[in-house]
Amino acid sequence: MNASLESLYSACSMQSDTVPLLQNGQHARSQPRASGPPRSVQPQVSPRQRVQRSQPVHILAVRRLQEEDQQFRTSSLPAIPNPFPELCGPGSPPVLTPGSLPPSQAAAKQDVKVFSEDGTSKVVEILADMTARDLCQLLVYKSHCVDDNSWTLVEHHPHLGLERCLEDHELVVQVESTMASESKFLFRKNYAKYEFFKNPMNFFPEQMVTWCQQSNGSQTQLLQNFLNSSSCPEIQGFLHVKELGKKSWKKLYVCLRRSGLYCSTKGTSKEPRHLQLLADLEDSNIFSLIAGRKQYNAPTDHGLCIKPNKVRNETKELRLLCAEDEQTRTCWMTAFRLLKYGMLLYQNYRIPQQRKALLSPFSTPVRSVSENSLVAMDFSGQTGRVIENPAEAQSAALEEGHAWRKRSTRMNILGSQSPLHPSTLSTVIHRTQHWFHGRISREESHRIIKQQGLVDGLFLLRDSQSNPKAFVLTLCHHQKIKNFQILPCEDDGQTFFSLDDGNTKFSDLIQLVDFYQLNKGVLPCKLKHHCIRVAL
């Protein structure tokens, strides 16, 4: 699969270099010109809109003054020519006006307000040509987050009940110009942004995908058909469609093509005379419904919407749809993105990997300067010695780690009146971790998992609502969310935590999470990504 995609990607790269993208997939590097007369790529502007550059100053009057001044000079003093005669004229010196510089030197700036999940916000000054990925990297730098290329900018419309993740190549200022006053940008994780490139079979059920060219119907060429403009993939299936201007919903047979979204007026027939256009892909974007049942009386919780860019607050022109389950909704939304942007999405997916490959020969583990200067020492004798053997140094580090855990456990028992006392370190140390979300409800934890991407291994930990001494692990597997209760147990007067009724015990929740990140155990999959909320 990856080899076939790379061949298609390299074929497109023959025409243009693989560099960070500008608007509409244009590249930052200049392409080699073909033989023949050069073609201008600048837009046509009127003479009044043309940039006015500074013109030479008429200096005949200045020279006349210099000649009159020569008459009063003594012949013993040499005449020194003025190197800047235009600055000595009787008129005011030339001053650059705000519009006198070329656009490349006087780039427009704009303030953008971005909100985080906890309601905090930050105003950032950006350039007019800054993309969503550039802004995310800037926010990562300002918020001291880890940049793992999963941060996204979310377009949130509370009045319409819609939200979507911006594509990495989209211009932030351009998107903001289509938003209403109460709409806003959110800074959020989205691990599922490019997950369909890694596991396409999980996103596109076989019964929902067809091809106009039967020779290209192989499942191994699924993504190639989406990315290749010469092929014609289609997504088909039943959807609940809300009639424009009405409150009623109808279940129709719908198919998605490059030209738009169509519904069949006669059963499952896809003949041209039975197909009716529902929405266009060109000037529209696809959104998720936040509260479809409450706001639009949707039949299920898996709603989506195709919103024209010209629509701000009006709901009359919104094409509201509803799927039966989450996998079906994800399939429709992913296909919409692929059919609209095509190879642009694959380029966005490949750019971070290419940067990582370029830096990999020079990358070293992230350490502080003081840690790099440390060496392993042995103080068992009368004098200390440097441990030069790496195997001996590693065993010494493991022995020290076990000794530290024994000391901390002994301190917890001695410093607490009861093994389950809330002041013990094992019961509070997890509150410093990003994956622990405290006392939130089951519904809130499911909402956070859905927002940050339904990928295998996405998890968070929270306090249990039914048992005040227990905790709950919320985990996503196969686009379904499952909950596992973590119960405390006692052994020789010491408190442990366990997921499997005491068969595997851990002294604290950090040790439990570390274990299940390496071992699946009783869970359906390993813990891979944790839900995180960052305050801007």
Query: What value does the mean pLDDT take over residues 7-16?
Result: 60
CATH level 3 topology of 429-530: SHC Adaptor Protein (3.30.505)
- Domain residue spans of the chain: 109-189, 195-357, 429-530
Confidence of residue 202 (pLDDT cuts 50, 70, 90): confident
Tokens of 263: 């519904």
Tell me the C-alpha distance between 284 and 27, whole Å: 23
Q: Cα 422–404–398 angle (5° rounding)?
A: 135
Q: What is the mean pLDDT of the chain?
A: 77
Structure tokens at 98: 């705000």
pTM, two decimal places: 0.68
Q: Give the pLDDT of residue 208.
A: 87
Mean pLDDT of 22-38: 45
pLDDT band at 533 (very low <50, low <70, confident <90, very high): confident
Confidence (pLDDT) at 86: 54
Where does the pLDDT of residue 212 fall: very low under 50, low under 70, confident under 90, or very high at 90 and above?
Answer: low
- In which order are the strands placed within the sheet that holds 494-498? 505-506, 494-498, 480-491, 471-477, 458-463, 529-530
* Res. 321 pLDDT band, cuts 50 70 90: very high
Can you tell me the distance from the alpha carbon of 446 to that of 475, in angstroms, rounded to the nearest whole number? 9
pLDDT grade for 492, boundaries at 50, 70 and 90: confident
Instruction: Name the band, by pLDDT with cuts 50, 70 and 90, for residue 418.
Output: very low
Q: Flag the least confident range among 217-221, 396-400, 455-459.
A: 217-221
Q: Which residues in 170-273 belong to E strands, given as ranges?
A: 184-189, 209-211, 233-242, 249-257, 260-264
Q: What is the pLDDT of residues 433-444, one digit of tens each?
A: 889 999 999 999
pLDDT at position 187 is 95
What is the 3 state secondary structure string of 302-358? EEEEEEECCCCCCCCCCEEEEECCHHHHHHHHHHHHHHHHCHHHHHHHHHHHHHHHH
> How far separated are the first and last CA of the chain, in Å rounded?
39
pLDDT at 70: 55
Please, what's the b/e burial string for 131-158 (b: 16 or more CB within 10 A of its CB; e: otherwise)? bbbbbbebbbeeeebeeebbbbbbbbbe
Helices 343-359 & 2-13 angle (0-180, nearest 10):
100
259-273, 351-365, 468-482: which range is least confident on average? 351-365
Percent of the chain with pLDDT over 70: 67
- What CATH class has 109-189? alpha beta
Per-residue pLDDT band at 457 (split at 50, 70, 90): very high
Q: How does pLDDT run across 335-388, given as a tens digit for each residue?
A: 999 999 988 999 999 888 887 777 655 444 444 334 344 556 666 666 667 777
Provide the pLDDT for residue 472: 95
Kindly report, residue by residue over 494-507, the tens digit of the pLDDT: 888 999 888 888 98
pLDDT at 404 exceeding the cut of 50: no
The reported pLDDT for the residue numbered 452 is: 92
Instruction: Compute CA distances 388 → 323, 372, 394, 494, 518, whole Å.
Output: 63, 15, 11, 38, 30
Apex 355 CA angle, 353 and 357, nearest 5: 70
Please report the pLDDT score of residue 169 as a whole number.
94
pLDDT by residue (tens digit) across 77-132? Answer: 455 666 655 555 555 445 555 555 555 545 688 999 999 988 889 999 999 999 99
Lowest mean pLDDT among 36-50, 264-278, 302-316, 452-466: 36-50
Whether domain 195-357 has CATH 3.10.20.30: no
